[in-house]
Structure 1
């Protein structure tokens, strides 16, 4: 798959949580942006000091081949945040991609643990159709841990809860660091992802682990998994680094 230099046109913007803005683009030339769920693209944004580049995982659902959605966390004082908050439908941006190897691979006979913080859940949302197909055809178990501060920040939570209702071998847990619903929902747990991950009965012979988002979560989880005997090929990681 080649890394293309393309122009994108914004077609939709919506606040999906109080701190996350979802932007949906199409290619300005009308072509399809071919990518593998789990990959990311880089936006090239113009500022008074020149071009800045910011990378975002593609969050589009499979089955929307012409639409490219990204989830943008609000970074206080962030130059990209300021620019992307201002753009409106029909505005254009430049981009390159797709990039990345954080994709769902064929792992025969294995169960999956997917862990994310914040917008680090975007790749898993893009993988939803693939995950459902894997559940239907392989008999595997898949568990997703998503770490946010409170229930209103649960990015794409309804999409994952819908999959729970369709697939009994898919398990979704919201790891909430500050507050739970009153009363707490069945999928809510108090604590950080890395703390709850340590409570799970993970087996290097049976599990493949994906980690995406906050570097502290990834480093703590990686150290725990290595202590359990996991080899690095069984731990797939993508760190999100904040930029101003």
Structure 2
């Protein structure tokens, strides 16, 4: 059982019409030893005193334990009428909430010897991949691994962290960013950025998954995760090399 610890709000900014990026710091003097891809759980109470918790993948980009004063970052989707949403809407800079963790095994494996990573996500399911960027940069430099990031959204305004992924693609020739928009088309002129029109689960043909070279990560909407999992299995990828994390909206 992980003990709870306090984090203090430093700032918040909008990422999309219904998603905010929050920056906290751990305020009890201890470190937060996490691996990119893991999540923390926020603990709070409903108005009637019932205990509740919500899980949020860390977006923080560090390759070491987070010490006092270092950022604890994650993205939050606002759900109309949601109780956790109400909590975040009422948070002010300096306020403290309690968390536990980190948890999860949706992480890069140091023993992997694949030629490509296929990172596929929708909504806030893209958050773990932001956290992994420093690790991916090291892997590209050390063993020449290629990375294809497919990010699904309805419109360009809903592409979380798109500016960061675009800049990362421009700086790293082995990183390929594919924004997949289901309700509009958009132009990208940045290097290594190739937009795809349609749902992200329909975009696999564009990157030609190969069982001999690829390891895939799937994170976000459960329907997307299930569809991509089935597709990748049908293309010959072993279930060992299809790593999944489903995001379910909580109110």
Q: Which of 205, 209, 212 is the matching residue for 1:202?
A: 209
* Partner in structure 2 of residue 37 of structure 1: 36
The CA distance in 1 between the partners of 2:2 and 2:200, in whole Å, is 33
The CA distance in 2 between the partners of 1:60 and 1:42, in whole Å, is 15
Measured after TM superposition, the shift of residue 179 of structure 1 is 1.4
The CA distance in 2 between the partners of 1:33 and 1:14, in whole Å, is 23
Q: How many residues are treated as equivalent by the alignment?
A: 241
The CA distance in 2 between the partners of 1:67 and 1:173, in whole Å, is 28
Q: Does residue 136 of structure 2 align to residue 137 of structure 1?
A: no
* Partner in structure 2 of residue 160 of structure 1: 165
* Partner in structure 2 of residue 68 of structure 1: 72
The CA distance in 2 between the partners of 1:17 and 1:62, in whole Å, is 24
C-alpha RMSD of matched pairs (Å): 1.5
Measured after TM superposition, the shift of residue 55 of structure 1 is 0.3
* Partner in structure 2 of residue 93 of structure 1: 97
The CA distance in 1 between the partners of 2:118 and 2:3, in whole Å, is 32
Q: Does the CA-based 8 Å contact 2:211-2:237 persist in structure 1?
A: yes
Q: Does the CA-based 8 Å contact 2:114-2:214 persist in structure 1?
A: no
* Partner in structure 2 of residue 241 of structure 1: 248
3-state SS of paired residue (1:159):
helix
Normalising by the residue count of structure 1, what TM-score does the alignment of the two structures yield? 0.94
Q: Does residue 188 of structure 2 align to residue 185 of structure 1?
A: yes
Measured after TM superposition, the shift of residue 63 of structure 1 is 5.9
3-state SS of paired residue (1:38):
coil
The CA distance in 2 between the partners of 1:156 and 1:32, in whole Å, is 26
Measured after TM superposition, the shift of residue 150 of structure 1 is 0.8
Normalising by the residue count of structure 2, what TM-score does the alignment of the two structures yield? 0.92
* Partner in structure 1 of residue 107 of structure 2: 103
3-state SS of paired residue (2:121):
strand
3-state SS of paired residue (1:158):
helix
